[in-house]
Structure 1
Amino acid sequence: MKTRQNTLSALFDEFFKSEKSGGILLVCCTVISLLLANSPFQYSYLKIWNFQIGGHSFTHWINDGLMAVFFLLIGLELEREIYVGKLSNIKNASLPFFAALGGLLVPAGIFLLLNFGTDTQSGFGIPMATDIAFALGVLSLLGNRVPESLKVLLTALAVIDDLAAIIIIAIFYTHSLAYTYLFLALGIFGILLILNRLKVHNLIPYLIGGVAMWYFMLHSGVHATIAGVLLAFAIPFAGSEEKSPSYILQHWLHKPVAFFILPLFALANTSIIIESDWYAGLTNTNSLGIFAGLVVGKPFGIYFFSFIAVSLGLCVLPRDLKWKHIIGIGLLGGIGFTMSIFIALLAFDEPEIITQSKIAILISSLVAGTLGLSWLRITLRK
């Protein structure tokens, strides 16, 4: 019978491998989407994503529906880390926590420094996010030379980043509230927590309750993806890991999320029409804030906050890592892509600003990923 450590190691390896392959697939989907959006098939291709279903476009259902499943997986991964993973004790959780904190505050500060008081100041959340799939996908290109602690640190950091992004979405990107629907959603969440305390381990009532919670959250004014995270923390994580409802659902969701939901999101949201003067938008404060936040703010914030925390004795640097490796992690943290685009769609209403933001995000993520890969290739011994 597998030990708990071996079981968790297998689950982490599965997560890493699915995200690694998913990251490569995301790159391919992005390139394909950009080519089709700027080809003779442009009209037909864009028509697919604008097709109306139930009064909403196909893209809207992807962003508000399928992405809730993605956030459910993020929540389950965070729950596992908190209970038995890297975040299960304060000493282990401190380094990724402080690294993530620096990777949130510094990029947001740089963006606001350039955009405060303007129409684009609401985009401060864009450079705060890290795309787990892309970051791990790039890290996987280095093969066996990557220490296990480096993989775990990047994963934990990115998960904390995404949780913070979810909180930011809930607080800053909720424009109006329908309190009846919100209370109904929270009421269902409360019932699911009671089922958890009663040790109900059958997944069916949680999944049915999760769908209902998503529906009410969708109509409440709070972004519907929040329901995915709430559901994750209502699902029990107890007993034998392989029989735990949280473990079972996390295991089942890895491949659908990595190979269907995120690629579909990439296809739908990178169908950008590149105009002849597309580069003109790169010099405005919004684009500069995104680029500076992701490419400069992320690595600086992650490195600086980690260094201060270790120097003060609040946490320790893993034995097989050096500070030059933390710089590489910081650069990979600047790959915002999926999460940054997601926040840009919530932050802005004008199509022109959204398009400019997407282009800035794609360029920034490409630069950050290239720099991070090159840096780690040099600093990590074979």
Structure 2
Amino acid sequence: MYKVWNFITTYSILLITGAIVALIWANIDPSSYHHFVEYPLWFNGWVGQDFAHWAEAYGSHANDFDIGDVDRVLTVHYLINDLLMALFFAIAGKEVWEAVILENGSLRGKKAATPLIATAGGMIGPIAVYLGLAMLMGSETYNAVFRGWAVPTATDIAFSYLVGRIVFGAGHPAVRFLLLLAIADDAGGLIILAIFYPSGDLAPEWLLLSVAASVIAFVFFNWLPRRMDRGDQLRQKSTWVRRNLSWLPYGVAGVISLFAFTQSGLHPALGLLPIIPAIPHADRAFGLFADAEQHLHDILNSMEHALKHPVELILFFFGLANAGVEFNAISAPTFLVLAGLIIGKPVGIFIMGWIAAKPLGLGLPQGMRMLDLIVIGFVAAIGFTVALFVASVAFHPGPVQDAAKMGALFSFGAVFLSIIAGKLLRVEKQPG
């Protein structure tokens, strides 16, 4: 049904490689690693990190640069996390959009109700555990780590899907359930980033520029050609626009929207999301990891195919720029993030999944047991990519951020917990 290994090798091996290189580099020569990540590429007045924050993070060597009178600094870290990662989130956003808007979308109708409610548990549970334990550690710890409450809500779709297939087998209904949960979790994560983690002072009027770019692209290059083709079976206007302009209008709109987000105070990595609804798309989706997706040649899917190799490289640099944490950084936030993931996820998913299936009468997919929800919870506890990203925006650079990142990296241990839980709860693997 799915060719998952190609996706894993495409999107994850380079990410892991970058993370491993970063860990080794940061523990051998932390000073050079730090200066690489914060290296200034462009001093300007429009795009980048606030100058004062950069100067503090870079240290005394900031005086070595001929700076002039500027407000912003485009650093290596900002380029990767705030601008280039917008392409990664665009792909995630595309999958969420199709799952919601298309008639056969996986997040529509009663079939998605139980996974969606379980997803809510998979976000509420980690938050409750993270903040609850932080309170028990005292007000000083709580105040230091409070902003990181969203870090353990994350689920890495690719890794969790791969582990789910290992534990349950490709044909088990729990794998499909897990995939729906992970997609919904990503959607919730995007909303959390937009609302709770602005990158600066909010200036929402700039979002009008983003909306205008999306509307103009939709009206003039999507809706209007189709409107003009009414009664024309050859669809000449739409065909001309698709063949001659292709993705160009939406690329331009995307750049405008991304710039608007950098000025709005919302995290720029979300800047391409408003453009996705404007792009012509197929009337059906085969689902994330589906081999048949490569045969869809609408503009939205063609853009996703074209982004494949750039996003591979971006994820390598994302791992390189974010996973460079010294092992002596392990402290309270590390264990709070881990506890939120490996305790909060399974408990939250099981409780809310049970409520949906039993008291609400929504049921579980045929062939899936209630105990399988616990195993799904451990699989979903692999935060990794998105947890690293949230940790990087939740905290300012420093010991707390490093400790939280270490928790995100250690969440990879949920792989072994998932396999053990599957054995103890006697999961019967079902081959695809």
- Give the Å deviation of 1:141: 4.5
Q: Deviations over 1:141-168 (max 9, x none)?
A: 55x9232633332222112111111111
The reply to whether residue 51 of structure 1 matches residue 51 of structure 2 is no
Partner of 2:27: 38
Q: Distance in 2 between matches of 1:264 and 1:33?
A: 9
- Decide which of 249, 253, 257 is 1:205's aligned counterpart: 249
Q: Which has more radius of gyration?
A: 2
- Decide which of 101, 120, 135 is 2:160's aligned counterpart: 135
- Give the Å deviation of 1:108: 1.2
For residues 239-278 of structure 1, the aligned pairs below 5 Å read: 239=283, 242-257=296-311, 259-275=312-328, 278=329
CA contact under 8 A between 1:62 and 1:264: conserved in structure 2?
A: yes
CA contact under 8 A between 2:395 and 2:401: conserved in structure 1?
A: yes
Q: Deviations over 1:168-193 (max 9, x none)?
A: 11111125212442322232233234
Instruction: Show structure 2 runs of 5+ residues with no match.
Output: 43-72, 136-141, 227-237, 286-295
Q: Deviations over 1:301-351 (max 9, x none)?
A: 112111110113453322232233322221111111111121122211251
- Decide which of 354, 370, 378 is 1:323's aligned counterpart: 370
The reply to whether residue 355 of structure 1 matches residue 355 of structure 2 is no
- Decide which of 1, 4, 7 is 1:18's aligned counterpart: 7
- Give the Å deviation of 1:72: 0.4
**TM-score normalized by the length of structure 2:** 0.76
Partner of 1:184: 209
Return 151-160 or 337-346, whichever deviates more.
Answer: 151-160
- Decide which of 103, 107, 132 is 1:113's aligned counterpart: 132
Q: Distance in 2 between matches of 1:131 and 1:219?
A: 29
Return 331-340 or 191-200, whichever deviates more.
Answer: 191-200
Q: Distance in 2 between matches of 1:48 and 1:238?
A: 42
Residues 1:267 and 1:376: Cα distance change in structure 2 (over 3 Å) = farther
Partner of 1:147: 171
One-letter code aligned to 1:231: I
Q: Deviations over 1:244-272 (max 9, x none)?
A: 22222233334543x32222211210111
The reply to whether residue 93 of structure 1 matches residue 147 of structure 2 is no
Residues 1:209 and 1:86: Cα distance change in structure 2 (over 3 Å) = closer
Richer in helix (by share): 1
Residues 1:31 and 1:380: Cα distance change in structure 2 (over 3 Å) = farther
Partner of 2:63: none
Residues 1:42 and 1:179: Cα distance change in structure 2 (over 3 Å) = closer
One-letter code aligned to 2:429: R
Partner of 2:428: 380
- Decide which of 79, 84, 96 is 2:97's aligned counterpart: 79
Q: Distance in 1 between matches of 2:278 and 2:8?
A: 24
Partner of 2:122: 103
Q: Equivalent residue of 1:321, what SS?
A: coil
Return 316-325 or 118-127, whichever deviates more.
Answer: 316-325
- Give the Å deviation of 1:239: 4.7
CA contact under 8 A between 2:155 and 2:381: conserved in structure 1?
A: yes
- Decide which of 181, 192, 195 is 1:171's aligned counterpart: 195
- Give the Å deviation of 1:370: 1.7
Partner of 1:371: 417
Q: Distance in 2 between matches of 1:150 and 1:255?
A: 30
CA contact under 8 A between 1:94 and 1:314: conserved in structure 2?
A: no
Residues 1:22 and 1:148: Cα distance change in structure 2 (over 3 Å) = farther
Return 80-89 or 208-217, whichever deviates more.
Answer: 80-89
CA contact under 8 A between 1:24 and 1:134: conserved in structure 2?
A: no
Residues 1:159 and 1:133: Cα distance change in structure 2 (over 3 Å) = same
Residues 1:313 and 1:110: Cα distance change in structure 2 (over 3 Å) = same
The aligned length equals: 361
- Decide which of 229, 243, 262 is 1:218's aligned counterpart: 262
Partner of 1:304: 351
Q: Distance in 2 between matches of 1:59 and 1:186?
A: 27
Q: Distance in 2 between matches of 1:36 and 1:140?
A: 33
Q: Distance in 2 between matches of 1:193 and 1:301?
A: 40
Partner of 1:5: none
CA contact under 8 A between 1:20 and 1:140: conserved in structure 2?
A: no
Q: Distance in 2 between matches of 1:223 and 1:197?
A: 29
CA contact under 8 A between 2:93 and 2:276: conserved in structure 1?
A: yes
Q: Distance in 2 between matches of 1:43 and 1:268?
A: 14
Q: Distance in 2 between matches of 1:229 and 1:151?
A: 27
Return 302-311 or 320-329, whichever deviates more.
Answer: 320-329
Residues 1:119 and 1:103: Cα distance change in structure 2 (over 3 Å) = same
| Percentage of pairs with the same residue | 29
One-letter code aligned to 1:233: P
The alignment yields a C-alpha RMSD, in angstroms, of 2.6
Instruction: Show structure 1 runs of 5+ residues with no match.
Output: 1-8
Q: Distance in 2 between matches of 1:88 and 1:356?
A: 35
Q: Distance in 2 between matches of 1:26 and 1:314?
A: 41
Q: Deviations over 1:353-381 (max 9, x none)?
A: 10111112222x12322211333365233
CA contact under 8 A between 1:238 and 1:244: conserved in structure 2?
A: yes
- Give the Å deviation of 1:120: 2.2
- Give the Å deviation of 1:33: 2.0
- Give the Å deviation of 1:52: 1.7
Q: Distance in 2 between matches of 1:227 and 1:345?
A: 17
Q: Distance in 2 between matches of 1:191 and 1:312?
A: 47
- Give the Å deviation of 1:224: 0.9
